[in-house]
Structure 1
Amino acid sequence: MRSINLNSYVDAFKTLNQEQFKRYLDYFGIQVKKQESADICVFVNEMLGKGVFSNQLSNFFVSYSIPQISKEFDLLRFGDNYTLNIEIKHSSSEERIAKQLTQNNYYLKTLDTPVVIYAYVVQTHNVFTLDENEHLKKTTLEELVAAINDQQHKKIDNISALFKPSVYLVSPLNSTEKFMAGSYFLNGNQSEVRTDIIKMFAENSVPFIAIEGKPGTGKTLLTYDIAKYYIDLGWNVCLFHCGYLAEGHEILRDKHSWNISPIKDIYHVLEQPITYDLIIVDETQRIYTEQLETIIKYVTDNKMKCIFSYDPEQVISFSESKRNTVGKIEQLTHKKYKLSEKIRTNKEIASFITNLFNKNKSNPNIEYKNIHLQYFDCSNSLRHYLEQLNEDGWEVINYTTSSFYKLTYDQYQVGTRNAHLVIGQEFDKVAAVINQHFYYDDLGFLWARSEPGAPPYRLDKMLYQILTRARQEIAIVVYKNKPMLEACLKILGK
């Protein structure tokens, strides 16, 4: 996307025909509706009438959206002394303006430059800003003019390089206190689903809700946000996690009094003399059939509400793959929502994982700057390297091993995290080993052989679970597997 001079924007809108104007905006990567362009013209003309010169209207980005977040800014400009954001509203309530300016300020202040933010209402010519306590206050056109004139603005060639989507993503399990403090925002897709679920429950339309989402779509954040909403309303919410409880779960339970339990405790929990309003099951794809049937019967008998949150691909064992969990949920009187926008995993990581598990889905247009590759043929050297990664702040996630037999990958695994213990969590930098058991079939799909004594967990599914925990960077360490090294090099364009 390119920045534009707002005076030029106005002249083009006034003098070019519709097709020419569209092509002109396409050059800058700007997509706006006709009314929005008309509103920008009203604003710019008012600024020109107040003494702002054309050269002071340069370097503005119009209708910029942060990649993967769906957060859009009407007018945005960067400067050495502060970042300037101006929202143009045709008409709006003060409540909606306050909400938008607060959200914008949240996203912009991560750039480590002071933020100056305004809203201009076209119909009334009113101007609003945030005070030092981030409360909305009405201000003057003269103050807005001064903000434009006083900014030491600069040209930015790649605006998206300034924003890392993962910086704005709060995990209920890894950033638990920020989550509980409400220091996060849902993206457009999440907000729409949340609003609709609350409406469905208020109308008592269906007892069961299903939320399906692939890694990086914000499924966990949305699920826990909904739980938090109803807990704050005073509902008695029971949340089951289909796996081991992480530290974040324990904080929610012990410090914030959430009723949250591992699914293995289901029978003990449901036997308690407590009347629940809502049961939420997270990572439902891993639930046992009898556990699922118990919850369905309990919800039906007690005329409660229930939310199942899951990703059908995030299974680890052969038995989990064979269960028809999603099919059983589909047969219920329910409403299903499918999250589609990836917000945690950046496009580079998502593309690499897709290509790794399916050789037919290569993307030669992506430069993999955040995928790192190493090869080892000695287990001792590999273990020392993984220990170094651990010391350098990487999450080295192991394959879940056997409690009874010594396996080949026990020789080099470090730390305590394994594929089962990180379910539902996310980390900035993740390291994983692709060992000698991995191979591609004739159709180009990635598989892994099981070794004698290994538990009934699929290595390929555990690798998928491990890699999809990453938000920013992945380190692939290939061990004793030259074909896999070749495949990784090919993906990376080497």
Structure 2
Amino acid sequence: MRHQKEVSLLELLNVINTNNDNLIHSYLKLHDYEYNFIKNKEQIDIKELTSYKTLLDHLITVLSPAQSLGFHLGFKLKDQANTQFDLLKVANDTVVNIEFKSETPNKKISKQATEHFRFLSMVFSRVIILEHLASTDELWIYDDKSKEMKLISYDKVKKLIPNDSTDLRVLSDLSRSDFLVAPYNEPEKFMKSAYELTSDQKEISHKIVSNATDMSMISKTNHMSMINGGPGSGKTLLLIDIVRELKKRDFSIGMVMGARPSSGQKELMEKLDVSLYWYYNLESLSPLIDKDVLVFDETQRITQNIIDEVKNLA
């Protein structure tokens, strides 16, 4: 874990108000979480940092001294997430993320807030995402129910920011396994998107979903894709993520399992509105032939006649 110092909003504002680049550089050397000590260069652009001034002026007016302490500047969640936060404050099960923007919230900005909320919700039960817009001096808060940004007055922020603070170890100690879920064993976490695919998995998912979408638009030509990988490589998570993406595009899906479906598998497929079958109860694919997409899991256990029928369909 980096040993960068926590940020006091009042101190940060005072440093910015000096308009002294050398002083700001020295400050960032102590507080910028991603400071590059090899190159002796801050990760946060000094000009960008000065754009924080307007919001900081508001915050130190409405927040108590305790609420203004314990922030972290420029923390980056690495590994699979690879996303960065302008300001973070952690207090046990609560995290506050403040982002600084130059334009009015749009779909792209809301998408970032949605992603930040998703990542932070993997760890914290209470997640608050705020975005300040320098162009209008407006403060917006992310509403997880509507997946949209909503205006909020500065005086209401006092009720959101905790007085106490804890360190970032709960985030900095995350490893790749913390970004994964077992869909069949943790259907609720999967449905809440409490996971993150690797870049390779995202590429595979995008190609398969795009191919299926393109072919459904231009022809009825069948196409087969196969996902290979060793035990624990995330094949099932990738497969069910693809299923969900296809369902979002209104594909009807039938799924054939190579083992007796568990209660978790049945629950997840019901939530996804996917027709689930155990190969043992299928003499042929006739019950699924009207589906847009057929999905097979644990194919090494599925009988040869079913496999041959799949090959003939493709």
Q: Same fold by TM (over 0.5)? A: yes
Q: Structure 1 unaligned segments of length 5 or more: list them.
A: 300-494
Give the aligned partner of residue 219 of structure 1: 235
Q: Structure 2 unaligned segments of length 5 or more: list them.
A: none
By how many angstroms is 1:61 displaced?
Answer: 4.1
> 1:101 is matched with which residue: 100, 113, 121?
113
Give TM-score, length-normalised by structure 1: 0.46
Partners of 2:33 and 2:76 within 8 A in 1 = no
Give the aligned partner of residue 375 of structure 1: none
By how many angstroms is 1:41 displaced?
Answer: 0.8
What SS does the aligned partner of 1:47 have?
helix
Q: Does 1:136 align with 2:144?
A: no
* CA–CA distance in structure 2, aligned partners of residues 228 and 126 of structure 1: 36
> 1:184 is matched with which residue: 185, 190, 193?
193
Bigger Cα displacement from structure 2, 223-232 vs 98-107: 98-107
Identity %: 21
By how many angstroms is 1:183 displaced?
Answer: 1.3
What SS does the aligned partner of 1:243 have?
coil
Give the aligned partner of residue 14 of structure 1: 21
| Aligned partner letter, 2:223 | P
After superposition, give the CA deviation of every residue in 1:63-121 in whole Å (9 maximum; x if it has no partner): 32165544543321123694321123344743333343344334435656643320123
After superposition, give the CA deviation of every residue in 1:194-232 in whole Å (9 maximum; x if it has no partner): 344322322239823333445555432231132233345
Change beyond 3 A, Cα 1:151–1:96: same
After superposition, give the CA deviation of every residue in 1:274-324 in whole Å (9 maximum; x if it has no partner): 32321222234556666544312212xxxxxxxxxxxxxxxxxxxxxxxxx
Q: Does 1:63 align with 2:63?
A: no
Change beyond 3 A, Cα 1:245–1:141: same
> 1:236 is matched with which residue: 252, 262, 287?
252
Q: Does 1:210 align with 2:226?
A: yes
| Aligned partner letter, 1:270 | L
Give runs of aligned pairs for residues 38-57 of structure 1, distance below 5 A.
Answer: 38=46, 40-50=48-58, 52=60, 56=68
By how many angstroms is 1:141 displaced?
Answer: 5.0
By how many angstroms is 1:128 displaced?
Answer: 1.1
Change beyond 3 A, Cα 1:102–1:109: same
Give the aligned partner of residue 258 of structure 1: 274
Give runs of aligned pairs for residues 313-324 of structure 1, distance below 5 A.
Answer: none
* CA–CA distance in structure 1, aligned partners of residues 206 and 232 of structure 2: 20
By how many angstroms is 1:241 displaced?
Answer: 2.5
What SS does the aligned partner of 2:227 have?
strand
After superposition, give the CA deviation of every residue in 1:149-183 in whole Å (9 maximum; x if it has no partner): x642435263436758767644331123554xx31
What SS does the aligned partner of 2:129 have?
strand
What SS does the aligned partner of 1:211 have?
coil
Partners of 2:209 and 2:245 within 8 A in 1 = no
* CA–CA distance in structure 1, aligned partners of residues 53 and 123 of structure 2: 30
* CA–CA distance in structure 2, aligned partners of residues 265 and 12 of structure 1: 74
* CA–CA distance in structure 2, aligned partners of residues 85 and 233 of structure 1: 32
* CA–CA distance in structure 1, aligned partners of residues 93 and 58 of structure 2: 22
* CA–CA distance in structure 2, aligned partners of residues 216 and 175 of structure 1: 15
| Aligned partner letter, 2:152 | T
Give the aligned partner of residue 454 of structure 1: none
* CA–CA distance in structure 2, aligned partners of residues 25 and 209 of structure 1: 50
Change beyond 3 A, Cα 1:245–1:63: same
Q: Does 1:85 align with 2:97?
A: yes
Give the aligned partner of residue 293 of structure 2: 278
Change beyond 3 A, Cα 1:38–1:212: farther
Give runs of aligned pairs for residues 41-440 of structure 1, distance below 5 A.
Answer: 41-50=49-58, 52=60, 56=68, 59-65=71-77, 68-70=80-82, 72-79=84-91, 82-91=94-103, 93-109=105-121, 114-131=126-143, 136-141=149-154, 143=156, 146=158, 151-154=162-165, 156=167, 158-160=169-171, 169-177=180-188, 179=190, 182-187=191-196, 189=199, 190-204=201-215, 207-231=223-247, 233-252=249-268, 258-264=274-280, 268-272=283-287, 274-284=289-299, 291-299=306-314
Change beyond 3 A, Cα 1:158–1:142: same
What SS does the aligned partner of 1:116 have?
strand
Aligned CA RMSD, in angstroms, stands at 4.6
